[in-house]
Structure 1
Amino acid sequence: MEVLVNGGLYRSAHSASDGDPERSDGAILISVDGSPGTTAAGDQALPPEDVPPTGGGTEGGSTAGNSAIMAAGSMVSRLIGFVRNMLIGMTLGAGIGDAYTSAQFLPGQIYELLLGGILSSVLIPLLVRRRKDDPDGGQLFTQRLLTFAIVALGIATALVVAAAPWITAIQASNKSTEAYQDLVTAFAYLILPIIFFTGLSAMIGAVLNVRGHFAAPMWAPILNNLVVIATCGVFIVVFGTTKGFQPEDMTPGRIILIAGGTLLGMVAQAVGLLPALRRVGFAWRWKWAPRSLGLGEIGRLAGWMLCYVGANQLAVFVVVRKLNAVSGGNNASVLAFNNVYLLTMMAHGIIGVSVMTALLPKMSSAAADGRYADVSADLSRGIRLTTTALAPIAVAYGVLGVPIAVSLFQGGAFTDKDAFATGTVLTVAAFAVIPLSISYLCTYAFYALQGNKTVALINVPVVLVRIAGYVVLAELLSESFAAAGMTAANAISYLLSALISLVVLRRRIGRLNLGSVAKALLKVLVAALVATGAGLLVVFLLPGGDTPGRLTAALQVVVGGGVIVLVYLGTAALLRVHEVSQVVGMVRRKLGR
């Protein structure tokens, strides 16, 4: 499932074709909202965050230098993105924030269906080839492509905005009040134009990446976040918070300020990329020639990616609809679910992506040579490393769910009860962290084997199970636990994805060394259980108990988190979990980049 973090764009990804992290063809791929990208040959991009770029000649400098820029940008963007989400919650509260977040999901969903999958799977490799093969370095082709994209995005955005009442009426659910649906629609009118600027930003970022420039596309979302943060500040100064507000209390001025500021943030992100185009020597001219783009071939190549993206967006639509039905009454709903998902993806981005960044080039090279035993060895090593690294984070989320939620989100219109409800969702998300990353690892093993069709086919039943989980759990659980149930459905679907992928991979490449994996995972489980006990004891002894205030919650997070990590590492060392030293070294290298 995809969410909007930094204005809707998760930034740059690449794929490697051999043991060197730099591809010989210089292919750069943009990944949007977590959807993997593909080259024309079927090679898939790495996950969308913290991935070192390819060389691209001398234009962009060294891979190490570009990687440092991207890693720094990603880290700063994560921190500012959390400040943004925290301030949105404090400014709007849970009920109004649910309507805002529901409207903010829409441009990401629609953009993905319109352009996201095609951009990542077809257009980026096409730009790379034309840059290499055309006498003008692909200048004319890129101008024509950008012209067509602007027109197509403009028309599509206008149609979607005109259809906003019908779209939001379906998404907001017939169980929500009419005032709530009207508020989602009012937000949507101003937020849906983000589709155009998201597409424009992604296209400009692609042009820059293909020309070896990585700094601006990585740092531009930070400008977006800063604009939204400033908008929240102005809202609080002018109107105060919306604490205790009902949807009907939101005046047109309040709606225009917060939704218009959100749109302005995306505009700033797109406009902020324009100077970089001049720096790389690209002259933007209006060139209308759609027949020269080979649109029929583009459509055929993008088919499987659209299947993948479409299935995921259907799941997003269903979960937002289900959660909109329970908004209000201090229930964890869309805003809380999204905040918890961001925490889950943060853990995956820091740990899982690091492992995949290191392993995918090796697996791709081994697969190309037919050395499937090496692919299997790399995959099993990746699973062991990822599980070892993520286990203490999962324990922390499970034991310290409420203190973390209170520390990060409580304040202003986001009450203590809203934070406690969010903490319950985070506790459930602890069981999703590891399955999520393992499923990604398996998926990227398929990418190394050029199995993007297989990935799409596996994704369909997984998404159907996820949606069934949403529907069933929404009926079985009380409204106060609906968001926790949706998170549990995600965890189940991640686990199912990993299991199906392992079965298919075993048929594809033979033995997967699962015996050694199971032995290592058993040791990690024991260490995690010991750390869980220690963490629960510390929280019991510290002030605050189950309902901490913000200061006592921060104390529980710092002391409890420290104890969990130390006890976990100590127990793992006693059990001779060899991957611990590798994980510590990996994290140190990542932080030192």
Structure 2
Amino acid sequence: MTDAASPDDEGILQPKQQSLLRSSALMASGTLVSRLLGFIRSALLIAALGSTAGAAAAFQVANTLPNTVYNLLAAGILDAILVPQIIRALRRRGGSEYLNKLITLAGTILFGITVLTMIGAPLLISITSAQYGGSIRALAITFALWCLPQIFFYGVYNLFGEILNARGIFGPYMWAPVVNNIVGIAGLGAFLMTWGPSGETLPPEGFTSAQIWVIAGSATLGVIAQALCLVIPLRASGVKLRLDFHFRGTDFGSASKVAGWTFATLMVSQLGVLSTSNLNGAADMWSEGTGVAVAGTPAYNMSFMIYMVPQSLIAVTLATAIFTRLANNVANRNFKAVAQDYHTGVRLITMLSMLAVAVLMAGAVPMMQMVMPSQGPEAAAIYAPVLIALLLGVPSTGIVIISQRVFFAFEDAKPVFLMGIVPTALQLIVGWTIYFTADAQWWTIGAAAAETVCRVVQGFIAIIWTAKRVRAISAGRLIASYLLYFFAFVGSAVCGRLLLRLVSPFSTSSGTLSRFFGASWRLVMVAVVVTVIFLLILRLLDPEGSRAVTEQIRDRLGKGPSTPANEPTPASGVTDENLEEPEALTSQLQTISDAGINAYAAGALTPPPSWEEIMAEEQAHQTLSRAMGSQDPTATGSFPRPITPTRAPQTEYDVNQSPHARGSALTPTSTLQSSDNRFNPTAISLVFGAVLVVIALIFAVRTLGAPAGGSLLGAIEQSESQQSQQSDSQSGEEPAPPAPPEPEAGTPVISTIEVFSWNDDGSDHPELSGALTDGDPETLWYSRYYDANQFSEDNTVSLLVNFTEEAKVSEVVLDFIGGSGEGEVVLRAAQDGNPRAGDVLATAAITERTVIKLPEPATLSSLGINFTRMPIDDEGVPRAKVSSLTIN
């Protein structure tokens, strides 16, 4: 952590400035330590309560309720509406007073939701585990009454963490779950020392009040400690909190426009969560009734915890690092950079996730024995298939997360909602088809497989929809790279499984420690072999691409600290090359620096965008991240986004976009702006949340003290008439501001020039584009040279020329060095930031001075200059060397 910053002279709490690498390292390290402690905690829980059905299932169902309720109700309302207000409060005069009002209001809402859910605990158990009955249902309800107060403290933790994030302090938010796990481990240790281990199953009938207090009480106490430990860094950062119930002046009129779609997305995702929970509960009850051990809720929760490790360390970390750059590039209409960041993120997430999945899938049995060494080989054999069924969804989840970041950067959450509908429907169909057609031992495995089907389908939908949103993104290339990594995954995982069969996958030792170490060396062996084979397959299928990405990862790991601020790296990650050095036409992945670490183009040091600009519409994405990840039984809470001011390129403005001062509201350009008749979902979200609370209260009163066999359907039928009275409330919509008048087209004034390389690999010297308009004939921009001198229309070396405002273009003049041969250049009216798309304006052969006159003047905001064939330069090689560009 860095030293605390004090408020400035104007009473505005300024964010601290940290490097993006430092922020990402703090996130990853906190997540890693929390996961490791989570495994220890889960192993102790299995030792205390058993591995199948019984008390273990009752507790885990009850202990996941706070996450479920918080994600659906509290997080949907707080993150989408209150948190953006809190972030903005830190950027205004007198913000501390307004902040205290908002925190008090948020705490009041959280407290009310917590009380209502505690009253409705029987109903919640019926919804999430409809198959439960008898003693297991009664124990689950008792556990829920102890666990549901966690809702309030999850909310406090999230609110305090968001304030720290806005202040530029990321470490405490990610390390607080470590405190939670330590408290939980202490409670489970006390349970084991007092009552000893349970064996495979602990029956719910003999569970005492003291045991309930220790197990459930330590779980809730851990969440309380997780929230309250943030008070110290909050005070050190200069934020002073106090209760203030004077809510006058807390206006939600400027709440995020994505709030409504965010809430709808949460509702869809929770259908999948409820489906999985009920399928697991059905397996628990079958096991409880027959006495036969099968995979159920404990097996799923343990598998999901392991599933979350690669997702958190790879997908969430990389997507988080890239999001700020995506948002800023979208605001600057730099769609080329958006596409480059997206390509890089998807490829890196897919490759690293496929490798992790191959290791975990091949070593699923020893992995399970490592995390629950108190259990014998039989328990590992039951748990491992659930983990295998879940794992293949890890790469697709990463793709979905980074695709969501793109749409959030465009302030458009509707596609995020729509692209989850069909996959969730498929999850319900697959899961319940297996339930009705297969034996009970397959029900939880089927639920996990259904989630994987949902995630894989949603991943491909996300790529295609994102490519439609940003034309410079190539969906075909990304899907091809996914399939390449998938082939490497299959080959390496099969080899790992075969190797494990040779040495026996199970550690059959009688002692707990000997089982742990026996499983550990097996997993390490599998990890080494699978990694080597995975990389060898990649080297065989794509030698140049695999060599490039492995060298880049190795170099990045060896660099340690980030590049100093006074030594910026080019945005493409490409450094100057010797003019005579040839480059092969190979498909290379973008450098890892494009993932958001030290990848800003050289330029003047400009003021960072304000927190209001960056955060105002972004808060919804953290809620979706939690929802897409279902429920994390260990390290709860969202992953903070490191919004860290860094050395940025010189600000460049496109048509109809004017410079905005620090702290001003960001005005989206016409292409990004929503239509005037789009509704403001803030009021709808509030009304919807209020209706849900009323319905929950009605259900809670009717089900409080209901018998174990009470029918949920009956409660719903009895409440229909009362629910119908909750009709549409006031819309609360505000009239949209009038659109600014369109400026008249004038003389072309070039704002920026972007270089689109062949294969989008950033190797055609984008850092030299300024030489085209600097007026110095001695400086020039040049491409690399190509042996195969013919380019398809969608993969040319191109220049995107952006104008400061719409202008009439009638003539384009290019001065080449050399310029002989059969070179050809095509002018296009660039579309959506893509110089290769749009109407063709003119085509010309390249000469030393190429003058291209348009048949008639065209009014443009950006112009695409595409080299379909390179000229022969003064050194006799096919390459474009341009000393000046003039547009009239």
TM-score range normalised by the length of the shorter chain: 0.7 to 0.9
Rounded to whole Å, the distance in 2 between the matches of 1:226 and 1:239 is: 20
| C-alpha distance in 2 between matches for 1:442 and 1:63 | 21
Q: Structure 2 matches for 1:491-510, cutoff 5 A?
A: 491-510=452-471
Q: Take 1:152 and 1:290, find their aligned partners in 2: how far apart are those partners?
A: 13
Q: For 1:369 and 1:297, locate their aligned partners in 2 and report how far apart those are by CA, in whole Å.
A: 22
Aligned AA for 1:574? Answer: L
* 8 Å Cα contact 2:15/2:166 also seen in 1: no
Partner residue in 2 for 1:37: none
Say which SS state the counterpart of residue 281 (structure 1) adopts: coil
Amino acid at match of 2:355: P
Q: Which gives a bigger RCO, structure 1 or 2 (Cα 8 Å, sep 6+)?
A: 1
- 1:77-156 residue pairs with structure 2 within 5 A? 77-94=34-51, 95=53, 96-133=55-92, 135-136=93-94, 138-156=95-113
Cα separation, partners in 2 of 1:208 and 1:381, compared to 1, 3 Å: closer
Distance, in Å, in 2 between the alignment partners of 1:232 and 1:553 is 23
**Where in structure 2 are there 5+ consecutive unaligned residues?**
1-12, 510-514, 562-888
Q: CA deviation at 1:580?
A: 5.7
| Residue 383 of structure 2 corresponds to residue 417 of structure 1 | no
Q: Aligned pair in 2 of structure 1 residues 291, 468: CA closer, same or farther (>3 Å)? A: farther
Q: Which has the larger radius of gyration?
A: 2
Q: CA deviation at 1:312?
A: 1.9
CA distance in 2, matches of 1:109, 1:402: 29
Cα separation, partners in 2 of 1:581 and 1:422, compared to 1, 3 Å: farther
TM-score, with structure 1 as normaliser: 0.83
Give the whole-Å Cα distance in 1 for the aligned partners of 2:263 and 2:554: 35
CA–CA separation in structure 2 for the residues paired with 1:130 and 1:566: 51
Higher strand share: 2
**For 1:438-478, what per-residue CA distance to the aligned partner results, in whole angstroms no more than 9, with x for missing partners?**
22232223223332122122223332332333322222232
Give the direction of change, closer, same or farther, for the CA distance of 1:281–1:340 in structure 2 (3 Å limit).
Answer: same
CA distance in 1 between counterparts of 2:240 and 2:385 reads 52
User: Where does 1:444-463 land on structure 2 (aligned, <5 Å)?
Assistant: 444-463=405-424
- Give matches, 1:115-264, under 5 Å: 115-133=74-92, 135-136=93-94, 138-174=95-131, 176-243=132-199, 244-264=201-221
Instruction: Map 1:473-492; keep pairs closer than 5 Å.
Output: 473-492=434-453
Give the superposition deviation at 1:519: 4.3
User: Could you say if the C-alpha distance between residues 520 and 206 of structure 1 is closer, same or farther in structure 2, counting changes exceeding 3 Å?
Assistant: closer
> Superposition RMSD on alpha carbons, in Å?
2.7
Work out the CA distance in 2 between the residues paired with 1:380 and 1:516: 9
Distance 1:208 1:362, change over 3 A: closer
- Asked whether the 8 Å contact 1:337–1:483 carries over to 2, the reply is yes
Deviations 1:5-44 (A, max 9, x none): xxxxxxxxxxxxxxxxxxxxxxxxxxxxxxxxxxxxxxxx
Post-superposition CA distance 1:488-507 (Å, at most 9, x none): 11111112212222332333
Q: 1:588 to 1:293 in 2, by over 3 A?
A: farther
Distance change in 2, residues 1:581/1:179 (3 Å): farther
- Contact (CA 8 Å) 2:434, 2:446: kept in 1 or not? yes
Kindly tell me the number of residue pairs found equivalent between the two proteins.
533
Q: 1:357-391, CA deviations, whole angstroms, 9 ceiling, x for partnerless residues?
A: 45434443443344445434443333332222222
Q: Which residue of 2 aligns with 1:571?
A: 537
Label 1:493 to 1:523 Cα distance change in 2 as closer, same or farther (>3 A).
closer
| Number of the residue aligned with 1:555 | 521
Aligned-partner residue type, residue 203 of structure 2: Q
Specify the code of the residue in structure 1 equivalent to 2:360: Y
2:400 & 2:31 partners in 1: Cα distance? 23
Bigger shift: residues 71-80 or 526-535? 526-535
Cα gap change, 1:374 to 1:272, in 2 (>3 Å): closer
The residue aligned with 1:27 is none
Distance in 1 separating the partners of 2:479 and 2:129? 43
Q: Quote how far apart the aligned CAs of 1:563 are.
A: 0.6
- Structure 1's unaligned 5+ residue stretches are 1-55
Contact 1:534 / 1:564 at 8 angstroms: preserved in 2?
Answer: yes
Shift of 1:424: 0.9
- Report the Cα offset of residue 162 of structure 1: 1.4
Q: Give the CA deviation at 1:588.
A: 7.5
Deviates further, 486-495 or 541-550: 541-550
Secondary structure in 1 matching 2:50: helix
Deviation at 1:87, TM superposition (A): 1.7
Q: 1:29 maps to what in 2?
A: none
Q: Find out whether 1:389 has 2:352 as its counterpart.
A: yes
CA contact (8 A) 1:373 1:510 kept: no
| 1:398 corresponds to 2:361 | yes
> Which of residues 64, 67, 75 in structure 1 aligns to 2:32?
75
CA distance, structure 2, for counterparts of residue 523 and residue 65 of structure 1: 32
Whether the 8 Å contact between 2:31 and 2:174 is mirrored in structure 1 is: yes
Q: After superposition, where does 1:200-349 map in structure 2 within 5 Å?
A: 200-243=156-199, 244-295=201-252, 298=255, 302-327=259-284, 328=287, 329-349=292-312
Seen in structure 2, the aligned counterparts of structure 1 residues 122 and 170 have a Cα distance that, compared at 3 Å, is closer
Instruction: Give the Å deviation of 1:300.
Output: 6.9
Secondary structure, in 3 states, of the residue corresponding to 2:90? Answer: helix
The structure carrying a bigger helix percent of its residues is 1
1: CA distance, partners of 2:401 / 2:228? 33
Q: Structure 1 63/92 Cα, relative in aligned 2: closer, same or farther at 3 Å?
A: same
Give 1:184 shift.
0.7
Q: Secondary structure of 1:87's match?
A: helix
CA spacing shift, 1:581–1:253, aligned 2, 3 Å: farther
* Equivalent-residue separation in structure 1 for 2:494 and 2:113 (angstroms): 54
2:32–2:313 Cα contact (<8 Å) kept: no
Distance 2:336 2:168 in 1: 35
What code does the residue aligned with 1:567 have? I
User: Relative to structure 1, is the Cα distance of residues 74 and 581 closer, same or farther in structure 2, using a 3 angstrom cutoff?
Assistant: farther
Counterpart of 2:316 in structure 1 is: 353
CA distance in 2, matches of 1:87, 1:532: 30
Alignment-mate amino acid for residue 404 of structure 1:
M
TM-score, with length taken from structure 2: 0.56
Q: Cα 1:546–1:492, aligned 2, differ >3 Å: closer, same or farther?
A: farther
Superposed CA deviations along residues 377-410 of structure 1, whole A, max 9, x for unmatched, are 4433333322222222222222221121112223
Alpha-carbon separation, structure 2, partners of 1:531 and 1:300: 46
